[in-house]
Chain A
Amino acid sequence: MFQLMIFIPLILLISLVALLLSLITSKSSKMNREKSSPFECGFDTNSNQRLPFSLRFFLVTIIFLIFDVEIVIMFPAIQSIFTSQELHWNFIFISFLIILMGGLFHEWKQGSLEWSV
């Protein structure tokens, strides 16, 4: 853990140094209107660039959140195979997975996964 606290800033420092190197050694020229506007294949942009996006993206992320929480709940199960009785572990793990599967099929039936963009 202490070693991670050394490694993470070190690696971020390396990539920051790479970025600074590119900022220093890049060709510099004057900024003009064409270069600093958003890219639109040569046209002038006439609307706000951050368009409203389809709500499907957000719903997919919400569904992912549910399954991610279930996965996090399953993490200790793998570690505890040898410290628990096999039949107990088996029953609990498999019934948890079957409930997860039931949730997935319920969402499927309700149409939440339909053209999930």
Chain B
Amino acid sequence: MIQVILFLVVVVCVLVGVAFFTLFERKLLGYIQLRKGPNKVGLGGVLQPFSDAIKLFSKEHVSPSTSNYSAFLIAPCFSLGLSLLMWLSIPSFFNLLSFNKSVLFFLCGLGVGVYGLLAAGWSSNSKYSLIGCLRGVAQTVSYEVSLVLILFTPLVVTVGYELGSFSSFQENLWFIFIFPAAGLIWFISCLAETNRTPFDFAEGESELVSGYNTEYSSGGFALIMLAEYTSILFMSFLFSVIFLGGDCSFFVLVSFGVMAFIFVWVRGTLPRFRYDKLMYLAWKFFLPFSISYLVLMAGLLSMLFLGFKEC
């Protein structure tokens, strides 16, 4: 049962990290736009997430009369629960769950995460929510194919689906120097999976009113936002495990922070894609690229393994 306690510690740390990540994002977006972010609340704005939380949890909870109310309530819980569950699969110094198949667990979680988006958009009976959810689901589902195929490429090196084994394979050279293009395509697919600018069609801030979370007020909106930022942090952690050296050294943690910084930097810099260009990118560029890259790397690496069977 000590693993339950350790995992609860991880969950609490992730939630605190997500709270401060919202502050980080607001301040960074402010500085990108030549203004300061929130700096009044604490010393330099440090207590802003707590005041945000108090505000969100004390606002009025509007229940739309024409919605499917139970799905409306359950969908943000489900999204947050799933995003937190995906943190189970991280490698850790304490050998938290010693998952043999963490990558498979992560891929299953990614696939099921679509349902939270679908339920949230469909059950709040509103045009904007519906359009936002359909666009978001189609986008998530398209990018998931190329994400999985790109992920197969380092997995052919580390034979087996264990995230903890990535650290032992990157002792001498990080994977990002071996698979640079795959790393870049993986990062862009992560941006699309987490519905993040330039791919934030599910929210669509100025076109649809607020996309799939139009009808959500205090509690549900807070949970949806927490779920989104939790998956952003998880994807940046996964990038630094898979491509930037996976052991639990200080440098991996720093690079995890740098990846989160790049997520926000991309948000502040790029405008939103057009939807057909998004689909073109996924099906006609990323997917042929990832299949071809896998053909190249799988052929090459399995030929290189010819003498190394006992590793």
Q: A: which residues have CB within 8 A of B?
A: 3-4, 6-8, 10-12, 14-16, 18-19, 21-23, 25-29, 31, 35-41, 49-51, 53, 56-57, 60-61, 63-64, 67-68, 71, 74-75, 78-79, 81-82, 86, 89-90, 93-94, 97-98, 100-101, 104-105, 108, 113, 115-117
* Chain B residues with CB under 8 A of A101: 288, 291-292, 295
B13 / chain A contacts, CB cutoff of 8 Å: none
A26 touching B4 in the complex, CB below 8 Å, given contacts A57-B134, A60-B138: no
A28 x B60 contact (CB < 8 A):
yes
Whether A86 lies near B306 (C-beta < 8 A) is: yes
B283 contacts A38, CB within 8 Å? Answer: no
B209 touches A41 (CB 8 A): yes
Chain B residues near A27: list those with CB within 8 A: 58-60
29 CB-based A-B contacts, threshold 8 Å: A7-B7, A11-B81, A15-B78, A16-B77, A26-B60, A27-B58, A28-B60, A36-B63, A37-B66, A39-B126, A39-B128, A49-B66, A50-B130, A51-B127, A57-B135, A60-B141, A67-B287, A79-B161, A81-B302, A82-B159, A89-B302, A90-B302, A94-B298, A101-B295, A105-B288, A115-B276, A116-B142, A116-B276, A117-B279
Q: By the criterion CB–CB under 8 Å, are A104 and B81 in contact?
A: no
Complex alpha-carbon distance, A51 and B125, angstroms: 10
Tell me the dominant secondary structure on chain A's binding face: helix
Asked, given contacts A18-B219, A71-B148, A113-B283, whether A90 binds B161 with beta carbons under 8 Å apart, the answer is no
Q: Indicate if the CB atoms of B287 and A104 lie closer than 8 Å.
A: yes
A94 CB to nearest B CB, Å = 5
| Closest Cβ neighbor of A93 among chain B residues | B298
In the bound complex, what is the Cα–Cα distance between A8 and B144 (angstroms)? 23
Residue on B with the closest CB to A101? B291
Q: How far is the CA of A61 from the CA of B4 in the complex (A)?
A: 37
Contact with A along B137-164 (1 / 0, CB 8 A): 1100110110011001001100111000
Interface SS of chain B:
helix
Check B36 for interface membership: any CB of A closer than 8 A. Answer: no
Q: Out of A11, A51, A56, A78, which one reaches B156, CB within 8 Å?
A: A78
List of B residues within 8 angstroms of A37 by Cβ: 64-66
Query: Given the complex of chains A and B, what is the CA–CA distance between A60 and B159 in angstroms?
Result: 32
B170, chain A: closest CB distance, angstroms:
18
Q: State which residues 265-298 of B face A: CB under 8 Å.
A: 275-276, 279-280, 283-284, 287-288, 291-292, 294-295, 298
Smallest distance from the beta carbon of A111 to chain B beta carbons, Å? 12
Least CB distance, B146 to chain A, in whole angstroms: 9
Task: Given contacts A27-B60, A116-B142, list 9 more A-B pairs with CB under 8 A.
Answer: A4-B88, A11-B11, A22-B61, A38-B127, A51-B131, A60-B142, A67-B287, A68-B144, A94-B295
